[in-house]
Amino acid sequence: MCSSSATSGAERHVFSLSQGLKRQGHHVQVLTPGPGWLTDILTQEDIPVHCSYMKGSGWWRTMGYLVREVRRSKIDIVHTHLTRSAYIGHALGLLTNVPIITSVHIANNDQIYRRLARRRNKLVAVSNFVRGMLHGRGIPERFIETVYNGTDFVDFEMSRPESVKDELGIPQHRRLVGLVGKVCRDKGQLELITAMRSVRMDHPEAHLVFVGKVEEEFRPEIDQAIIDAGIQDRITITGVRHDIPRLLDAFTLSTLPSRMETFGVAAIEAMARGKAVVATRVGALPEVVRHKQTGLLVDLRPAEIAEAVSYLLSNNDEREQMGRMGRHIVEQKFTLQEMSARFERVYEQAARG
């Protein structure tokens, strides 16, 4: 159960996990609040999905549907994602005694997570950073498990960077410094734009590429920052794309200069495509990006970001070695198969009590 059908990290996680569990022989069905990206892609994969509005009076209709479905289909486990579905899951567990597994994707102090720490329920943190946050807020360790997100980006064929540059109208000699994520204040695009003023002094061929939806209220600020940095001809903003592995293959390196990340899916996706990552040392990013092994960790300051980006652009062998190490770590630790297997163990433990 996911209380959003959009295209953010939690929804992508629900889709990937549903796919993985189905491949391992489980019966999976998904409940969302309404039509959207998640419902569309689940339908394409022949995973049963039901829409039920979860706000206002829709809350009661959703609860009635869930109680009937748990009993009719003999559901063993209900797994909730995002806060609204956590509240619904809590009530459902009280009514049916079915174990509730609740993934905690963000730093959240909502009281529902403490209420859910009872009986056979489990809270699943997406990182040890989130696990520590939950424990620090009074939730006993025995109710918390850590399961890292996974990616299937290691499975895609390598693509030609030249085709991406041609499609985006970027000269072939440019070296792409990428950032995949929503274009908003929290993802660090402003700081990266400012950093590019220094990067270009040593690397005039550097070219920024932002991949993701632009928050409309943020667009004037981004546009002004680009003008102030004088990089109007050195930046491309693609908007939402559904061919991320192909775009990553065209990057020279990837960045994630976020203000906070409770995991950092964009980092493991870049690593899966063999790219070194410049990331801020916040939240769970130090669990994902190993400093000087798979990338460089920095503070959220344009000068530090610029120094790290310039260093990787100047040191091809070291950058490529970091990329190879990053891909190896993803293959060992951050695949969809590993994520699904770890969730199976959590489910089994909850089901058996």
- The residue type found at 29 is Q
Over residues 225-275, the pLDDT tens digits come to 999 999 999 999 999 998 999 999 999 999 999 999 999 999 999 999 999
Residue 107 in this model has a pLDDT that exceeds 90: no
Neighbour count for residue 273 (Cβ, 10 Å) = 25
Q: What is the pTM of this model?
A: 0.93
3-state secondary structure 110-161: CCHHHHHCCCCCEEEECCHHHHHHHHHCCCCHHHEEECCCCECHHHCCCCCH
Spatial separation of the C-alpha atoms in residues 47 and 86, rounded to whole Å: 22
Model confidence at 61, pLDDT cuts 50, 70, 90, reads very high
Cα–Cα dist 22/44, whole Å: 14
Using 50, 70 and 90 to split pLDDT, how confident is the model at 55? very high
Q: Which residues contact 145 (CB under 8 A, 6 or more apart)?
A: 122, 123, 124, 125, 131, 342, 346
Please give the domain boundaries of the chain with CATH numbers for all domains. Answer: 9-150+335-352 (3.40.50.2000), 153-333 (3.40.50.2000)
Average of per-residue pLDDT across 21-28: 93
Q: Which long-range contacts (CB under 8 A, 24 or more apart) does 240-246 make?
A: 240/7, 240/212, 240/213, 241/211, 244/153, 244/180, 244/211, 244/269, 245/153, 245/156, 245/159, 245/269, 245/272, 245/273, 246/156, 246/159, 246/164
pLDDT reading at 108 higher than 90: no
